[in-house]
């Protein structure tokens, strides 16, 4: 009796490698065609996170915290008996806007300030960030709530 082994079933290693290469190329093609993230939106989200941290610092530290915005970037300061002291420890410090992102400041105003009080209340209002890809608005409500609005996204 001549027993022959049945032919092997399945894929060979070469066939599996070719399939993986094709899948990798297809994935890379899809990733390359995805839209790039808007720098104004990422900067607005980072700024909003910093504002929320400033509010927490005011509430927990029992002193007012200012966030001052200029055309170059923004920084933090807290109120002391002697006056205002810059906050430089993590997660605070001076932050520079990304290239291509510009804040829309009111005319004849070099800086815009957002203040968070120990009571939880805030002053400030809206800040609009512009980039070639669009416009994003960050708003600080009197209750201290921070909101990011990206129209059309």
Res. 51: pLDDT tops 90: yes
Token reading at 44: 């607005």
The CATH H-level superfamily of 39-149 is minor pseudopilin epsh domain (3.55.40.10)
pLDDT of residue 12: 85
| pLDDT-above-70 percentage for the chain | 96
Res. 140: pLDDT tops 90: yes
Phi, psi angle pair for 73, to nearest 5°: 170, -150
The 3-class secondary structure across 49-108, one letter per residue, is: HHHHHHHHHHHHHCCCEEEEEECCEEEEEEEECCEEEEECCCCCCCEECCCCCEEECCCC
Token reading at 9: 């079933």
| pLDDT-above-90 percentage for the chain | 56
Distances (CA, A) of 126 to 20, 22, 39, 41, 97: 50, 49, 18, 15, 17
What is the pLDDT averaged over residues 97-101? 91
- Share the mean pLDDT of the chain: 89
What is the pLDDT averaged over residues 86-107? 90
User: What does pTM read for this prediction?
Assistant: 0.74
What is the pLDDT averaged over residues 114-132? 92
| CA end-to-end distance (rounded Å), the chain | 74
């Amino acid at each position: 009796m001549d027993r022959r082994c049945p032919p092997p079933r399945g894929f060979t290693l070469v066939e599996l490698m070719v399939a993986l290469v094709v899948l990798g190329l297809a994935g890379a093609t899809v990733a390359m065609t995805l839209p790039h993230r808007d720098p104004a939106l990422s900067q607005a989200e980072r700024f909003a996170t910093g504002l929320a941290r400033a509010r927490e610092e005011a509430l927990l530290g029992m002193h007012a915290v200012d966030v001052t915005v200029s055309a170059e970037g923004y920084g933090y300061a807290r109120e002391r008996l002697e006056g205002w002291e810059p906050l430089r420890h993590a997660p605070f410090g001076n932050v520079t806007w990304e290239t291509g992102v510009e804040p829309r400041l009111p005319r004849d105003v070099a800086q815009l300030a957002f203040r968070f009080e120990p009571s939880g209340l805030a002053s400030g209002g809206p800040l609009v960030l512009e980039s070639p890809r669009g416009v994003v608005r960050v708003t600080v409500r009197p209750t201290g709530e921070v909101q990011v609005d990206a129209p059309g996204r």
